[in-house]
Homo-oligomer: A and B are copies of this chain.
Amino acid sequence: MEDKILLAHGSGGKLAQDLVKNIFFRALENPLLAKLDDSAVLDFNGKLAFTTDSYVVHPIFFPGGDIGKLAVCGTTNDLAMSGAKPLYLSLGCVIEEGLPFKDLDRIVNSIKVMADEAGAQIVTGDTKVVDLGSADKIFINTAGIGIIPDGVDISGHNARPGDWIILSGTVGDHGIAVLSRREGLDFGTSLESDCAPLAGMVADMIEVCPEIHSLRDPTRGGLASTLNEIVAQSNVGMKIDEKEIPVREEVMGACEMLGLDPLYIANEGKLVAIVPAKDADKVLSCMKRHRYGKDAVIIGEVTGDHPGRVVMRTSLGTSRIVDMLVGEPLPRIC
């Protein structure tokens, strides 16, 4: 077998079959995928969540993860943010000719490990190969299907004045970790992406509080953009407190050096939960018991005032409007 991907591996012929068998199936095999028909056939009954994301992160390997880990965490997290239990994933890869097999193998193995942790199976897939220079190593798309438990209705449209806003941990880790590897910057040895599958923690949270109003993972655009999306969808305001928002020292240092605001930096293993005030303590305790929520904090509340606006009390004691991200400080972060 060659040690690099050739154009013919994308052909639909023998070499393509070898690639599927030797790399994708070896890691991912399950009875649904093994049927190799044009679609996977699944039995279903209930309310289903369906989502998709493409991943173009550069570099494809970074501290704390790789593009495969990201492709499973990102999509299963999107399902979890609708309250769904992730069940099935599709996997579409666009590969640049010349990608070493060992890199592809490592990525596919990350996909397997993360899918197992998230409780999802890869049941259908597709691989295209493009000529050298027509893509940057590998782009991955995953679409996901999950099932939403009866009675759960979680949406960015459901935030209500009086709700409390919980953040699951530090912000900015993923964006700064990817940036540091890409630019060869060294902001401290310990900084890793927070990339993680959150579906398990979300299932626990829903068990203690089936009335969670909104969940969202602050990826591209960071915490600031996520909160702005929710205030717009629910036509409410928010008051948050800067000193409650946890930021790692290395992330703060990097942001100061580069003129970035950690509130706008992408995360890949964090979530924001909007919950009725009466349930906030039990949801917070539930999150703190979980490895991905041990630093969870209440960062503010939903208000009926200034609908569509997120207002932050700064650490200096003044107030400022936290707006949507406008430009693009960090491209290709996910």
Q: Could you tell me which residues of chain A, from 118 to 163, have a CB within 8 Å of some CB in chain B?
A: 123-131, 133-136, 139, 141, 143-146, 148, 155-157
**Smallest distance from the beta carbon of A138 to chain B beta carbons, Å?**
11
Residue A54 CB within 8 A of the other chain:
yes
B15→A54 contact, CB < 8 A: no
Which of A13, A43, A90, A331 has the most chain B CB within a 10 Å cutoff? A13
| Contacts A10-B331, A139-B135; A42 near B48 (Cβ below 8 A) | yes
| Contacts A325-B13, A332-B130, A332-B131; A41 near B35 (Cβ below 8 A) | no
Residue A51 CB within 8 A of the other chain:
yes
A3: chain B residues within 8 A (beta carbon): none
A136→B130 contact, CB < 8 A: yes
Give A52 to B46 CA distance when docked, in angstroms: 22
Stretch at the interface among A187-195, A214-222, A249-257: A214-222
**Smallest distance from the beta carbon of A320 to chain B beta carbons, Å?**
17
Residue A104 CB within 8 A of the other chain:
no
Residue A299 CB within 8 A of the other chain:
no
B94→A54 contact, CB < 8 A: yes
Residue A292 CB within 8 A of the other chain:
no
Residue A47 CB within 8 A of the other chain:
yes
Residue A327 CB within 8 A of the other chain:
yes
A11: chain B residues within 8 A (beta carbon): 220-221, 325, 327-328, 331
A54: chain B residues within 8 A (beta carbon): 92-94, 126-128, 141
Which of A79, A155, A328, A334 has the most chain B CB within a 10 Å cutoff? A328
Give A251 to B84 CA distance when docked, in angstroms: 49
Residue A8 CB within 8 A of the other chain:
yes
A35→B157 contact, CB < 8 A: yes
Which of A54, A136, A217, A222 has the most chain B CB within a 10 Å cutoff? A54
Residue A50 CB within 8 A of the other chain:
yes
A43: chain B residues within 8 A (beta carbon): 46-48
A47→B50 contact, CB < 8 A: no
A143→B92 contact, CB < 8 A: yes
**Smallest distance from the beta carbon of A206 to chain B beta carbons, Å?**
15
Residue A319 CB within 8 A of the other chain:
no
**Smallest distance from the beta carbon of A46 to chain B beta carbons, Å?**
7
Give A332 to B135 CA distance when docked, in angstroms: 12
Residue A309 CB within 8 A of the other chain:
no
**Smallest distance from the beta carbon of A52 to chain B beta carbons, Å?**
4
| Contacts A41-B82, A79-B39; A52 near B14 (Cβ below 8 A) | no
A124→B94 contact, CB < 8 A: no
B56→A50 contact, CB < 8 A: no
Residue A49 CB within 8 A of the other chain:
yes
A112: chain B residues within 8 A (beta carbon): none
Give A53 to B134 CA distance when docked, in angstroms: 18
Q: Would you give 10 A-B contacts (Cβ < 8 Å), ordered by A?
A: A11-B325, A13-B324, A13-B328, A37-B157, A44-B48, A45-B45, A50-B124, A51-B124, A52-B90, A52-B92
* Beyond known contacts A13-B327, A41-B47, A45-B46: 5 more, CB 8 A cutoff: A12-B220, A42-B48, A43-B47, A52-B92, A139-B139
Q: What 7 pairs across the A-B complex have the smallest Cβ distances?
A: A12-B220, A13-B325, A12-B221, A143-B143, A52-B90, A141-B141, A39-B49
